[in-house]
Chains A and B, each alone.
Chain A
């Protein structure tokens, strides 16, 4: 096992990794940018080292700075968290070349799963159904021809993307022609790669994903699914487990197919397979995330496992601490992403000083947040302030506890999206477990909130 780990991330996930290290007796060293000098992770870590200025390209995204910090600080491994360098196979390769361990899949595995189109082909070969789609588009004319074959509406997706960035749904050839140009420039700006592909758009679909853990010895387990259907413009807002949309038989089939395919395809470390579920209960594999995910605590709450600790163990070459038969999923958990966003003004991101922060508590309540009273939220990074995760023995209890916890949560000084979460908990489609990924966008957030107010 490692004795010192460099944490190359910030915010709540840096804190989460510090906590995992502490519980495992590992010394944590947080790599931080100048803008995060006063962060909670820096305060709580055993050690901290400044790697660059606020601009993430010269700090959290700078492979040489991060590696130099790890060497200078005498670390044996680097935990990249999510985002930033977490799925960068070149960085993983560089890490290994410097005699350090990347806490994630090996460079070879990352490379094998780097292309979304390639991954779909690979996992389809191992038995996972996929959505009809195109390969990488050569040019606009190719895109138009492929869309005709697939049938409208289609979803344009950047190959290098993640987190829903740069995706666009179009309903006609004319829309497609215009959108391809925009998507290319967005993808180039966001990911440095403008390659696109198309996918059939399923109306009223749900987003369901399977958490897997595979060690170096080829032992693989799934830890159930998460339902992430509550989204706004392809950004997840709330996640829950288990999915209210699957019956026991469908669930067993999905989980079994997912873990078999991913082990057969040679995956390693923790990962998430994302699926779309249509109204008829058919599921289609869309992509794999080769990292710890924002919403992993939902799974931790129903399984009792520490997924970050398992991830570190796998990277250290140890076998998984659990077999499939040891994993028992109990109750229901919901995660609310608390974002510094002004729902009333088109989700405009906010920054500034947190005047007061008070976390909720009580049975089944977990708050993963880097906030504290007096903390200045820097304007340079994403708007995630923390995650409220609530567990109950059943979904109704989890929802009731969630209402109470959201009411208890105090974040003063910066506008948050908590009102939207309250509205979700008053929404009939959500309460009935019938939320679909495009519901919020179709209704519009303003109308959605107004309806919730009227119902209250």
Chain B
């Protein structure tokens, strides 16, 4: 018990330090510089700030040409400051809130490589790519064509080559 409490206290202290010191400093540096991105790693924590307008996020599942809200990322909060809750391995997640359409030819049982297109989510007329998170076999598609999905919703499952 004591151990976990201490861990939690440490985490709190780290979060406080991140929000209070690290992030504002990074925002200031990013604002003054021409850099597009700043990343700091320390003690198992990672903070990454990206410039906002017109950016195309490299992270999986983000289509180019996405309508961006042109406000700078600097307002952003310590978005990556906490380890993300990892989705179940092989889960195909929706990259946006909108309507799902599978790609022609994608079917349960088919082989997929990591990054392969499984379908798209139409968010206000802009297509957001739904991609395979790993190499493997598509085991399941839980969402029908035309069905509404929310951000992060499980669309299907890919089983890896274990």
Contact = CB atoms under 8 A, between A and B. Distances in A.
Nearest to B148: A72
Contacts of A190: 74-75
A427 interface: no
B152 A50 contact: yes
B18 A379 contact: yes
Interface stretch (B34-42, B93-101, B104-112, B133-141): B93-101
A199 to B, nearest CB: 24
A298 interface: no
Contacts of B19: 349, 351, 379
B27 interface: yes
A426 interface: no
A59 B73 CA distance: 13
B77 interface: yes
B16 A67 contact: no
Nearest to B74: A189
Contacts of B25: none
Query: Among the interface residues A49, A65, A349, which one has the most CB atoms of the partner chain B within 10 A?
Result: A65
A381 B79 CA distance: 10
A185 B20 contact: no
Interface residues of A, number: 39
A192 B123 contact: no
Query: Among the interface residues A52, A53, A62, which one has the most CB atoms of the partner chain B within 10 A?
Result: A62
B15 interface: yes
B99 A192 contact: no
Contact of A51 (B31, B77, B78, B151): B151
B12 interface: yes
A69 interface: yes
Interface in A337-367: 342, 348-353
A188 interface: yes
B41 to A, nearest CB: 18
A65 B94 CA distance: 12
B77 A72 contact: no
B52 interface: yes
Interface of A: 34, 49-57, 59, 61-65, 67-69, 71-73, 98, 185, 188-192, 342, 348-353, 379-381
